[in-house]
Chain A
Amino acid sequence: MGKYKKIIMIKDTNTGNRTSRIYDLFLNSLRERGLEDDVQVVRVADINFYNKGVVARILPDNITYVKIEESDIDRIVRISIVKDDTVKDLLVDPKDKQMRIVLRNCGIIDPESIDDYLKFDGYKGLKKVLEENNRDKVIEELKISGLCGRGGGGFPTWMKWNFAKSQQTDTKFIICNGDEGDPGAYMDRSVLEGDPHSVIEGMIIAAFAIGAKKGYLYIRAEYPLAISRVEMAIEQAHQKGLLGKNILGTDFSFDLGIRLGAGAFVCGEETALIASIEGKRGCPSPRPPYPTINGLWGKPTVINNVETLANIAQILLNGGKRFSNIGTEKCAGTKVFALTGKVKNSSLIEIPMGITLKEIIYDIGGGVLNNKKIKAVQTGGPSGGVIPEEFFDTCIDYEGLQKLGSIMGSGGMIVMDEDDCMVDIAKFYLKFCVDESCGKCAPCRIGGKQMLDLLTDISEGRASCDHVDQLKRISKAMQKASLCGLGQTASNPVLTTLKYFEEEYKEHIVDRRCKSGKCELLFIYEIIEDKCKHCGLCQKKCPVDAIDGDRDNGFMINQEKCVKCGQCFDVCKFEAISR
């Protein structure tokens, strides 16, 4: 503790306003007892508790107290500092809701050093596998583990491997799908940048199990740092005898290459990815045949995503059973999410399957930004859906999210508040899919564009109720008749917003109004005279001088000048501005 015997860390986890006051009180209390040189009080920026009032953590005892009132301070100092005891009624268990398997080394090891990776059990899983030299056992362990594809599909990984393994041919491939492209998702990038060897080790084990001699990491070109760290890792693994001929001195040989994705979202779809590696136009092909039977250059090919592969070494090292105990009965293990949007702590998190959306948003994410009202959370990116607050108790697993019309997806999780318009959100995701559609199949190519035009009509006040019927009709055709996952799921954001926020659509269509202030043609800012207290703050804040008037006579918004930025609305303390 340096020159101190103890440290008290404090933070007001609600508004933050009381931190300073409590800090002073702690200092006073310590000073009164002559302890100011033995104990340091530190104001911290984050204490990993949210909305639990003032929280204090005492080191080195690692005791955490929550909901501390000013009156509690003296007894905390008396009991916890002086007596070395605990104040039972304020005590909480600081257990982390997160659990790190995939991200086990991210932020901890030097990703550019294979020695660092080796120090943290690196390549021990591979060593164990090669020692046992039993391909069936690898697949058996995976089966026991219950690991499913983390790219979004959720297909049991062992089955994929087993299909490829049972193909009688000399040439097989393993591909790591690092063509992460969902808006707001960066799980794969973090793993590749933070712990590239974990993915490489997973690929080597996969190659051993299915009998592949060559593998490719398909990484999007927009991830230059990930690419260079993976390149470095491959080079180091070669030098250590972990890649190339006779891995770890055995007769198993395997090598890896990197292929760069040129930016097409659809190349994350496995058949399009294969076409892209083969140098063809990145368009999906019909499945079957599945890549595990007829994949890259017509050979059996296993394609796993980055997160799936990062799990492999841990499963083989510690046994499938241990992995299967994590998460829920139907859905084992952890899932990495990129938690973003209107949440206080945008972060990359890894949680055991089965915890609720509420826990993620409030206990890990710290709740909504700027104390706005939460509206929904979007999971699964453009293939996913929007889940309203009433379902936040839903447990995270493939089935749970699917029942709500969304999907687990690869791990994007975007929090939305009252300022987010659901029509606008649906339009955003659909536009993404329309832009990224390869154009090969008619349902996706034309259906997506038609739906986008219908949504644009709604958001610009040109729609009738027929628009909703047409949206539903096209959605169904796209779901059923599109060639690949992109088209089959592109309508999910529209369908879920329609399902949970029908009222908002009605407001747009019938009242021609967008209360969230997103659809520009459907709202204006106005000052409600009765509520206005003539404070003038809005006038000061307006960046385009669109608010006329003075404190004596009141204010009015000049609609011709107004650019609908919403700053007046946000700044008004009296809710005197409507939109």
Chain B
Amino acid sequence: MLKAFINNIEVEFEKGLTILEVAEQVQVKIPTLCKHKDLAPSGACGLCIVKVEGSNKMLRSCCTEMTEGMKVNTHDPELVEVRRTVLELILSNHPNDCLTCGRNNDCELQSLVADFAIREESFNKIVREVPKDLSTGTIDVDPAKCIGCGRCIEVCQQIQNVWALSFLDRGINIRMAPAGDIQLADSPCVRCGQCSAHCPTGAIFEHDQTRQVWEELQDPDKFCLVQIAPSVRVAIGEGFGFPVGTNLTKKIYAALRRLGFQVVFDTNFSADVTIMEEATEFVQRFVHKKGALPLITTCCPSWVDFMEKFHADMIEHFSSTKSPQEIMGTLCKTYYAEKNKIDPGKMKVISIMPCTAKKYEISRAEEMFASGYQGTDYVLTTRELIRMIKQAGIDFSSLEDEEPDHLMGDYSGAGTIFGTTGGVMEAALRTAYYFVTGENLKKVEFKNVRGLEGIKETSVMINNIEIKIAVAHGLGNVGEVLNKIKQAKKNGDPLPYHFVEVMACPGGCIGGGGQPYGVTNEVRRLRTEALYDDDQKCEVRCSHDNPFVKKLYKEYLDAPLSEKAHHLLHTKYVPRPEYKK
């Protein structure tokens, strides 16, 4: 441990930390608009400057390493004045659209301007007129609001390895956009939404569909069903002042009923169905040698899009099982509709997702219409649902708990952990073990696939046969795993893995692009813990033990991979160009 001083406070710290990081340890918050804990420092905003004894410059605390004996001053009047000027400069280059901006009241620039009590604008307003890019229908880009912090580009290139966004032009005209100034929809963008989750302002924003959903809810001819994804329940509370990682499943059910949804289902149920199909697929390929190994999970639409664009040679490895969202949508308009004699043409299925790419998934391939109708009609992100609840004047935190509707609302512990990295794998293993051995695991937890490490490798013994496993999250980590597989295939070496799980967002869906802002690894950890806790509290821990899943197969689908199941619950993949045109 090293020692140094921040504002005359002695602080002990580990070597390698920056001044900004060490300052936090002594409750000193240095303002910044470009540094994000997930990302390498870029030094773009110029707000985090501090004085270090012995240097006549003001140094950027985000990228200056704290060293032994350093004496740092973070907040003298001169520093505050320079920061204020820089902040005013940034404001002079930013439209005053706060009242109608999606980030109003949740904007990093806005809160800093408020903190600095900037009451008038001393500089000329220089706001660019750049058209919005609404091409994806999932992520809206408004370059006029961009403050050039570079977070979106850093996350798109370095964390996700997608390289859809880059900086164009220079000087005062600099802006983020796809290379070549094409539309985002024509770029390699996989709609993961991490850009929007990291944007400090309203420059990149999920495509808001709350108004369309309100319209459907008001229409007396429509029958509205809703499903909530696993990770929504442990993140939504952040929008209502709950501590990070509070599980609010039953309050969400209640809120959704108050919003006017006739049926409240849970995506955790369809996650259980996904496992029935996917684990069966795995057993088919692994035990009965029917199909390519390794099997790779496909619940994540960004990952699917990424694979179709960049790794189409791996299509045969992809599980054909639809994602839980799509299984739920399809089953609503078939199974539920038939049972309750409701015209599926009048049904509207709305899903609440942690994810912007899910908005894209609902129409990505013709199998999404397997019921004869589009399975899922609208996707709202967690952030959109929070807004809807507030619009409806629901005092969320005081709501009484409610239960879901039963046919497709009850879930196993395996279904709920789908929302975090490693969760799909763990759930699948629980059921695959049962399918192979005919017995349930004595201990259902697979701790080796849990946690925030980018790539997790482990192996599991089933019937004395070793199953090699890899779990990757954050698309930037996928390449390494795929390369190992490709290399082994090319050389005819033994497969490095038999089963691979990929989730596009760091941490999995709990860190999804549509979740409440301010995600860091600490937030990811707390949300994840809440999901494992939910699993722990479930009486039923395995998908195949979910009585409603059993009922579904018995009454309707027959068995996993049956002809009906195949028709309704499976999909196909095709190579897609990275750039359209």
Contact = CB atoms under 8 A, between A and B. Distances in A.
Chains A and B share a contact (CB less than 8 Å): yes
Contacts of B126: 446, 449-450, 453
B63 interface: yes
A442 interface: yes
Contacts of B86: 442-443, 447, 477, 481
Interface in A448-492: 448-450, 453, 470, 473-474, 476-477, 480-483
Nearest to B166: A281
Given A440-B150, A470-B122, A477 B44 contact: no
A73 interface: no
Interface in B322-338: none
B89 to A, nearest CB: 4
B47 A481 contact: yes
Nearest to A281: B167
Most buried by A among B43, B62, B124: B43
B152 to A, nearest CB: 14
28 contacts: A286-B41, A288-B63, A288-B64, A435-B171, A436-B171, A437-B171, A438-B171, A439-B173, A440-B44, A440-B174, A442-B46, A442-B93, A443-B89, A445-B93, A446-B89, A446-B172, A447-B89, A448-B172, A449-B171, A473-B85, A477-B85, A477-B86, A477-B89, A481-B46, A481-B47, A481-B49, A481-B58, A483-B60
Contacts of A474: 85, 89, 123
A453 B124 contact: yes
Contact of B90 (A439, A446, A453): A446
A306 to B, nearest CB: 25
Interface in B43-76: 43-47, 49, 57-58, 60, 62-65
B46 A443 contact: yes
A285 interface: yes
Given A435-B171, A437-B172, A440-B174, A446 B44 contact: no
Nearest to A434: B171
A450 B92 CA distance: 9
B161 interface: no
Contacts of A288: 63-65
Query: Does more than half of chain A's interface fall in helix, strand or loop, or is it mixed?
Result: helix
Q: How large is the interface on A (under 10, 10 to 19, 20 to 34, 35 or more residues)?
A: 20 to 34
Contacts, number: 111
A419 B284 CA distance: 88
A481 B174 contact: no
A286 B174 contact: no
B115 interface: no
Nearest to B147: A442
Nearest to B85: A477
Nearest to A453: B124
A441 interface: yes
Contacts of B83: 481
Given A438-B171, A439-B148, A470-B123, A482 B46 contact: yes
Given A445-B174, A480-B58, A440 B85 contact: no
A255 B519 CA distance: 47
Given A443-B86, A481-B46, 16 more contacts: A437-B172, A439-B170, A439-B174, A440-B150, A442-B45, A442-B90, A443-B46, A445-B171, A445-B172, A446-B90, A449-B126, A450-B89, A450-B123, A450-B124, A480-B58, A483-B43
B42 interface: yes
Contacts of B85: 473-474, 476-477
Contact of B171 (A286, A439, A473, A483): A439
A482 B89 CA distance: 12
Nearest to A435: B171
A285 B42 CA distance: 7
A143 B122 CA distance: 49
A439 B42 contact: no
